C-alpha cells in the first residue's frame, strides 16, 4: 500500500508548513513510497481526510489539521504521533510497513523473554553434551595410545 500524506500546500501557518516538510523529508530520506494529497486545492481530498480520521483522534474543534498520514485506507496518525514514532525508532511500525531488510527491529518484551529462554535451553544442552563427553569411554585409538605410553614408561 502507498502512504498518503494529506497536506495543505497553501497553508498560512508556518508551524503546519514545517510539520509537513518534516514528514515529507523524513519519508524521502528513508525512501518510503508516498503520495502527497493537497487538501487546500482539492475539496475531495479535504473531505476524505476529515471523514477518515477516527473520531477519538480528531482535535476538540473536530477539524483535523494537516499533515495527516494514512497507509492506504488505514489511518496512521497526525504529526505528533509521527514525531513520537520517529523519536522512538518506530516509523515503519507507525506506518504499518515491514522494516527494511537488515534493520534492527526493536524487540518486544515477549521476544526478549523468548530469546532468554532459548539461550538458557541451549546452555543446558551444551552443558549436558560436555558432561556426556567426560563420561564417554575412550575410543580404541586413545586406549591404544594410552597403552603404548604405559609400555614406553616400563
In angstroms, the CA 72 to CA 100 distance is 19
CA distance 152 to 91: 73
Q: Give the model's pLDDT for residue 62.
A: 82
Mean of pLDDT values over 45-54: 96
| All three cell numbers of 110 | 515477549
Kindly list the domain boundaries of the chain, sorted by start residue: 3-95, 109-153
- The mean pLDDT of 63-86, rounded to a whole number, is 96
Question: What whole-number distance in Å separates Cα of residue 60 and Cα of residue 58?
Answer: 7
Q: What is the pLDDT of residue 125?
A: 64
Distance set, CA 134 to CA 13, 43, 125, 126, 129 (Å): 76, 79, 14, 13, 9
Beta strands in 64-103 (DSSP E): 68-71, 74-78
Does the 3-95 domain belong in CATH 3.40.50.970? no
Amino acid at each position: 500500500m502507498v502512504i498518503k500524506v494529506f497536506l495543505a500546500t497553501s497553508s498560512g501557518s508556518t508551524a503546519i508548513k514545517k510539520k509537513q516538510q518534516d514528514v515529507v523529508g523524513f519519508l524521502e530520506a528513508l525512501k518510503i513510497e508516498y503520495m502527497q494529497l493537497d487538501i487546500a486545492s482539492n475539496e475531495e481530498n479535504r473531505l476524505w481526510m476529515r471523514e477518515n480520521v477516527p473520531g477519538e483522534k480528531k482535535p476538540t474543534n473536530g477539524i483535523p489539521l494537516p499533515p495527516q498520514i494514512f497507509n492506504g485506507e488505514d489511518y496512521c496518525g497526525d504529526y505528533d504521533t509521527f514525531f513520537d514514532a520517529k523519536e522512538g525508532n518506530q516509523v515503519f511500525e507507525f506506518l504499518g510497513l515491514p522494516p527494511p531488510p537488515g534493520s534492527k527491529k526493536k524487540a518486544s518484551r515477549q521476544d526478549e523473554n523468548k530469546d532468554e529462554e532459548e539461550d538458557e535451553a541451549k546452555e543446558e544442552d551444551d552443558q549436558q553434551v560436555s558432561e556426556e563427553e567426560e563420561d564417554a569411554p575412550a575410543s580404541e585409538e586413545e586406549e591404544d595410545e594410552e597403552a603404548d605410553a604405559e609400555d614406553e614408561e616400563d
